[in-house]
Structure 1
Amino acid sequence: MPAVRAARSSPPPTLTPSGEPTTVTNTVPPTLSAGLLLVVLIVAFEAMAVSTVLPRVADDLQGLALYGWASSAFLLSSLFGAVFTGLLSDRRGLAVGASVSLVVFALGLLIAGLAPNMPAFVLGRLVQGLGAGGLGLLPFAVITSRYPEQARARMLAAVSSAWLIPALTGPLIASLIADAWSWRAVFWGLLPVLVLGAPLCVLPLRQSLPEQSATGSASLISRRVLWPALGLSVASGALIEGLRRPDFWGVTLIFAGAGGVALTSRFLFPAGLWRARRGLPASLAVRGLAAFALLGTNSFLPLALHELRGLTLTQAGGLLSIGGATWTLGSWAQARLEQRFGPQTRPARVRAGMLGVVAGLLLTTAGVLGGLPLWSAYVGWFVACLSMGIGYNSNSLFALASADTEGKGTGELSGQLANIEVLMVALAAGAGGALIARAAPLSTAFALAFAVTLSGAVLARVVAARLVAKN
């Protein structure tokens, strides 16, 4: 469950491009649906698979010092890529935005698969993120602009299902491929499928529709957040690199990066986010801290299992698959609880979910570090991911209700929900990677990394107490 799984449970990271008309055709080419689902499957599989094979990549390329950057570079560039693609699609149409994102994503796969060393692999991940950010926007923008009202719910359900399959099977399949051939095949193997799916998706989008001015409100909002999004990505990258460097420049980058994050956040998030002000800011803070805790742990968990407990990639991949299945199970349970007990119980479900994440991560940590038997890690990860599915989605519903109360648009909120998650997971992966690079021995490094992400879970539970149901 990497950060990009947000696309399954929350709106896209940028607004639907205003350059696409709201009028939709009554019939949708079957190739468009097939191509769209293929693209979603590819992005989802890549997102779920990479965490599993990263230990093999770091070992083969002798790049343990840059381990955290393999995840952080992807996440931070996807944040900017989503905003840029939204603006490009706004100006030139969805076909152009989709084509550019697909080409960039394919280029990133190629660079990563051919990487002769770890810096080149990180570059490939950065390029992948630029493309994946735009592709994360694609399903929602296409469904809104090209599908009739009666077909949208069905297509959104199909998109969610397309994320479910890789969540259950992606880590295991990736580990089997890496064991049987090479970790490079995980990246190369997606290219033929991408070549097949791209024309099916892009060609129907070239169909002419009535033109609409590109100076609407969505366009203005996209333009307004473009440079702050770039600034946030760069500042976060500086902060992560500062944590990794043990010299004077490291300290300088930490202060500069932290200042840049604080400054650019003012343009992308509501006031009071970092103080967890009651209402929407507290809800966004819970989302970010929960993602920092669980998805941040997910970024280094396979490596810890491999290095400390001697698990193979296939065995580690099995644990991640368990996480994907139980997160989904928790989401379904949350929906039933919402239906039975009503929206007034959302804050209580968030608090209970975050407490479960704390307990599950504690058990996982003890199982991985050797304080408890290895099976404890499996039980702990099951509990943590199940609780995350319940608390995370309940918090999203709370945020949507708070946005309505505070007069925020759905499009603006969708960007805030996605961006806070991407930012916090990138920082968690970067901090964990910095500890792995700097601390010795590895057992100490992993203990510190788990302590950092566990602190995020505890803070998420504390901040969740500030969520109060509206009467």
Structure 2
Amino acid sequence: MQNNIENTASATIAVESAPARWGDLLSGRNGLYAFALAGGVTLHALNMYIATTVMPSVIADIGGLDFYAWTTTLFVVASILGAALTAKLLNGAGPRGAYIIATILFAAGTLICSIAINMPAMLAGRSIQGLGGGFLYALAYGLTRVVLPERLWGRAIALIAAMWGVATLIGPAVGGIFAEYGAWRAAFWSLLPFAGVFAILAFATLPRSSWDKNERSSVPLLQLALLTGAVLAVSAGSLSSDAWWKIAGLVAGLALIALIAAVETQAEARLLPRRSFNVATPLGALYLIIALLMLSMQPEIFVPYLLQHLHGQSPLWAGYLAALMAIGWTVASFLSSRWQEGSGNRLIIAGPVLALIGLALLAIFLPIDGAGDWLLLAPICLGLILIGFGIGLAWPSLVTRVYQNAPATEQDLAAGGMTTVQLFAIAFGTACAGMVANFAGIAEPGGMAGASNAALWLAVIFAVAPALGIAIAVKVARLTGKRG
């Protein structure tokens, strides 16, 4: 009898310690969990790219050109709020209820967008969409550790990250087809059946309650207000044609970030786990690397424009060449999940190194007037792939390390914090990219000279982010050396 118990225990330990395989994640109940979590992220990501593609058609139909940029700004701000409130939602509603509430919010916002007759209605719909989408994205990370064994976390995170690459390839094509036929409302409608399927799948598969009963879930109202103000300040400043307003928006955003860090040190209700703003701690360093990697990719928003004006590419080709960054991220995420066992620290260091090399290639070749010469386009494509590949290579190890270094009672807060940091870095970086491009002359004097100067300075300025990321990654390797 004792031998049977020991054999059973040994078999269990062997299964738990066995190398993770994709078949373990994608089969049985684990497969249902993975499909539900990845599906929610896909829904959120597809919506982002579809909406961006059809928005010119929306403006042509219902007006509101002055508020064009705010359809993205409010969406991102609401997504940040959703990510920050995920711990509260998960604690109060449980995994099943949280996922269903998030999907209903997303579907409601999508419905409002599809029937909007003016820009205020569209902005309201986009805000609700963003809130639901932020929940879906953060819940995917938060529920990974709840419903899956730890040895599958890396694979699951790689699958979630890969959904962004899939959405980058599919979203613009879907949105473009609807826009071409003047059916932008149908582009939003098309997401609703998928939302319904994922809601049903969540109800049928996810557990009603979580084993995390000691999770903190107080709402950090002050920090959320400051965070929202920081994003809006930078976004509003970047939209102004006055350079001083741009600078004022940037300074205000940085000041509010510093204020958030000060408030977090004393607050009971927090956005991030304790000491997350302290770079001397593993958790603080990990969050900073995530932010720096997100900043590294923000010149991407100008790549289609620059490829058209400097390298003679059509809008379709320019869009898909820009998607090479997302493809690199997707491929590397899958490879990294296989390599991270025993090599996590090396992958975290290699990520920003590759991103820096990619931005260096863009700085050298993107500003040149190539007129369609593929001898110049080839290194540009390689640079874009390397930036995405570097981020994807480090991503599963970074997210897993966040779980491992967060306090046991703040795991949901840590998961939601990853999305909060990621989305905030994207919003901040996008605003800064616009500021750099305008300062470099992309609009004034404009033309080939302005585009070339903007291409150079975008790559050079944003190369600072992965350069700092390398130094922080080395620090993380020292702080978490025992973890491989």
TM-score by length of structure 1 reads: 0.72
Structure 1 residues 363 and 373 mapped into 2: Cα distance closer, same or farther (>3 Å)? farther
**Counterpart in the other structure of 1:455:** 461
Distance 1:146 1:223 in 2: 23
**Counterpart in the other structure of 2:87:** 86
RMSD: 4.5
**Contact 2:32-2:205 at 8 Å conserved across structures:** yes
Structure ID, larger Rg: 2
Q: Residue 129 of structure 1 aligns to which amino acid in structure 2?
A: G
Distance 1:202 1:48 in 2: 27
Q: Residue 471 of structure 2 aligns to which amino acid in structure 1?
A: A
Deviation at 1:69, TM superposition (A): 3.5
**Counterpart in the other structure of 1:286:** 289
Q: SS state of the match for residue 366, structure 1? A: coil
Q: Deviations over 1:1-43 (max 9, x none)?
A: xxxxxxxxxxxxxxxxxxxxxxxxxx95998776655544322
Deviation at 1:395, TM superposition (A): 6.4
Higher RCO (CA-CA < 8 Å; seq separation 6+)? 1
Q: Residue 260 of structure 1 aligns to which amino acid in structure 2?
A: L
**Counterpart in the other structure of 2:389:** 389
**Counterpart in the other structure of 1:263:** 259
Distance 1:30 1:327 in 2: 22
Where in structure 2 are the equivalents of 1:99-110 lying within 5 Å?
Answer: 99-110=100-111
**Counterpart in the other structure of 1:465:** 471
Structure 1 residues 467 and 290 mapped into 2: Cα distance closer, same or farther (>3 Å)? closer
| 1:440 equivalent in alignment to 2:444 | yes
| 1:245 equivalent in alignment to 2:237 | no
Distance 1:162 1:301 in 2: 21
Where in structure 2 are the equivalents of 1:217-236 lying within 5 Å?
Answer: 217-218=214-215, 220=216, 222-223=217-218, 225=220, 227-236=222-231
Distance 2:281 2:86 in 1: 33
**Contact 2:332-2:390 at 8 Å conserved across structures:** yes
Q: Residue 327 of structure 2 aligns to which amino acid in structure 1?
A: A
Structure 1 residues 104 and 303 mapped into 2: Cα distance closer, same or farther (>3 Å)? farther
Distance 1:451 1:121 in 2: 35
Q: Residue 89 of structure 2 aligns to which amino acid in structure 1?
A: L
Distance 2:308 2:66 in 1: 16
Deviation at 1:349, TM superposition (A): 1.3
**Contact 1:81-1:131 at 8 Å conserved across structures:** yes
Distance 1:388 1:29 in 2: 28
Larger deviation, residues 256-265 vs 160-169: 160-169
Distance 2:159 2:288 in 1: 30
Larger deviation, residues 411-420 vs 371-380: 371-380
Structure 1 residues 98 and 440 mapped into 2: Cα distance closer, same or farther (>3 Å)? same
Percent same amino acid among aligned pairs? 24
Structure 1 residues 449 and 417 mapped into 2: Cα distance closer, same or farther (>3 Å)? farther
Where in structure 2 are the equivalents of 1:260-409 lying within 5 Å?
Answer: 260-266=256-262, 267=264, 268=271, 280-294=283-297, 296-302=298-304, 313-334=315-336, 338=340, 342-343=343-344, 345-346=346-347, 348-362=349-363, 365-366=366-367, 370=369, 373=372, 375=374, 376=376, 379-391=379-391, 393-394=393-394, 397=397, 401=401
Q: Residue 75 of structure 1 aligns to which amino acid in structure 2?
A: V
User: Which blocks of at least 5 consecutive residues in structure 2 are unaligned?
Assistant: 1-27, 265-270
Q: SS state of the match for residue 192, structure 1? A: helix
Q: Residue 346 of structure 2 aligns to which amino acid in structure 1?
A: T
Deviation at 1:128, TM superposition (A): 1.5
Distance 2:117 2:378 in 1: 34
Distance 2:100 2:382 in 1: 38
Deviation at 1:344, TM superposition (A): 5.3
Where in structure 2 are the equivalents of 1:59-74 lying within 5 Å?
Answer: 66=67, 68-74=69-75
Distance 2:74 2:350 in 1: 33
**Contact 1:289-1:460 at 8 Å conserved across structures:** yes
Q: Deviations over 1:54-79 (max 9, x none)?
A: 56656777766655444332222111
**Counterpart in the other structure of 1:195:** 196
Deviation at 1:421, TM superposition (A): 1.9
- Number of aligned residues: 434
Deviation at 1:102, TM superposition (A): 1.9
Distance 2:98 2:245 in 1: 38
Larger deviation, residues 309-318 vs 182-191: 309-318
Q: SS state of the match for residue 171, structure 2? A: helix
**Contact 1:297-1:453 at 8 Å conserved across structures:** yes
Where in structure 2 are the equivalents of 1:82-161 lying within 5 Å?
Answer: 82-115=83-116, 121-142=122-143, 144-145=145-146
**Counterpart in the other structure of 1:172:** 173
Q: SS state of the match for residue 367, structure 2? A: helix
Where in structure 2 are the equivalents of 1:410-421 lying within 5 Å?
Answer: 411-421=412-422
Distance 1:360 1:60 in 2: 41
**Contact 1:435-1:446 at 8 Å conserved across structures:** no
**Contact 2:142-2:412 at 8 Å conserved across structures:** no
Larger deviation, residues 67-76 vs 130-139: 67-76
Distance 1:104 1:450 in 2: 41
**Contact 1:55-1:306 at 8 Å conserved across structures:** no
Larger deviation, residues 439-448 vs 150-159: 150-159
Distance 2:201 2:284 in 1: 40
Distance 1:311 1:65 in 2: 29
**Counterpart in the other structure of 2:13:** none
Deviation at 1:80, TM superposition (A): 0.8
Structure 1 residues 373 and 363 mapped into 2: Cα distance closer, same or farther (>3 Å)? farther
Distance 2:186 2:382 in 1: 29
Structure 1 residues 364 and 170 mapped into 2: Cα distance closer, same or farther (>3 Å)? farther
**Contact 1:72-1:429 at 8 Å conserved across structures:** no
Deviation at 1:236, TM superposition (A): 1.8
**Contact 1:78-1:133 at 8 Å conserved across structures:** yes
**Contact 2:84-2:420 at 8 Å conserved across structures:** no
**Contact 1:179-1:313 at 8 Å conserved across structures:** no
Distance 2:203 2:167 in 1: 23
**Contact 1:319-1:378 at 8 Å conserved across structures:** no
**Counterpart in the other structure of 1:10:** none
Structure 1 residues 454 and 57 mapped into 2: Cα distance closer, same or farther (>3 Å)? farther
Larger deviation, residues 322-331 vs 34-43: 34-43
